[in-house]
Structure 1
């Protein structure tokens, strides 16, 4: 997972930022574009590799921002996990495959996607959100996430974490 801090030094009080593009739910037909957007982050080791067919089957998890030319500029997956009554936990969510095209980093697109994911999680009455990042997680921390033990997360997701990636688990109670 990648988060990029805004490049504050490049903006002046006269800088005109483009109007935010709407966040929408991904469609199965976005699978190839999701794979293409994610590819540079997979190469860098920040994201796990996923096939276009996996993006197609999981398309309903994704929120995306599409530029005016039809290119995807950012995406964020939100997988809902059912309640675990035995563990005393309500339904939770996991944020994954969060990426913003390098040309759009630093202009608020990541925050826009994260706010949309928080709204979707609230609409689903989730108790908490979890994520794992190989980076610093600054954006998540600014939005109320805090370091957490993987054992607090949905078991299937926690068990899927690759210890070689040295990911940091973050959580936010909703």
Structure 2
């Protein structure tokens, strides 16, 4: 992990940069397109990574039943491979634990192996809970990945 990376909750003035960070991934079909207005309404769901006052990564978190969903995870190209994404997901895991969620979820078209490297397991489509089915966008062919927090730390359900 690169020294000097700060992780914090997003502020309204960050959302334009979150939109800019997301744009190349949206264009590549890796992220769902969200307008600046949509991102602005979701500011309280986002955590950001910054270095020297510049945002270099972001992730949204939102409840999904008894799980916490990580979405819109993206890292500036020049910062990829330096542990920024891992750090954002670890913060999301901490939020999930502190708020009593059973698991952390991620929906991804391309990052399955990366999430598996963090301890997530792919959820078999036939075993997808009804409450999670709404997470999928038709035609995206995304996979659902889950990290069980309850089993990991012996905690009960939320």
Q: TM-score, normalised by structure 1?
A: 0.78
Trace 1:95-110 onto structure 2 (pairs within 5 A). Answer: 95-110=70-85
Q: Which has the higher contact order (CA 8 A, sep 6+)?
A: 1
Which runs of 4 or more aligned residues in structure 1 lie more than 3 Å from their structure 2 counterparts after TM superposition?
A: 149-154
**Structure number, greater radius of gyration:** 1
Please list every run of 5 or more consecutive structure 2 residues that lacks an aligned counterpart in the other structure.
150-158
Alpha-carbon spacing, 1:73–1:153, altered in 2? closer, same or farther (3 Å): farther
Question: Which of 13, 38, 46 is matched with 1:54 structurally?
Answer: 38
Counterpart residue number, 1:80: 63
Alpha-carbon spacing, 1:160–1:126, altered in 2? closer, same or farther (3 Å): closer
Question: Which of 105, 113, 119 is matched with 1:130 structurally?
Answer: 105
Higher fraction of strand: 2
Alpha-carbon spacing, 1:103–1:34, altered in 2? closer, same or farther (3 Å): same
Q: TM-score, normalised by structure 2?
A: 0.85
Aligned partners of 1:92 and 1:154 also within 8 Å:
no
The count of aligned residue pairs is 148
Alpha-carbon spacing, 1:171–1:33, altered in 2? closer, same or farther (3 Å): same
Counterpart residue number, 1:115: 90
Report whether the alignment pairs 1:167 with 2:142. yes
Aligned partners of 2:6 and 2:51 also within 8 Å:
no
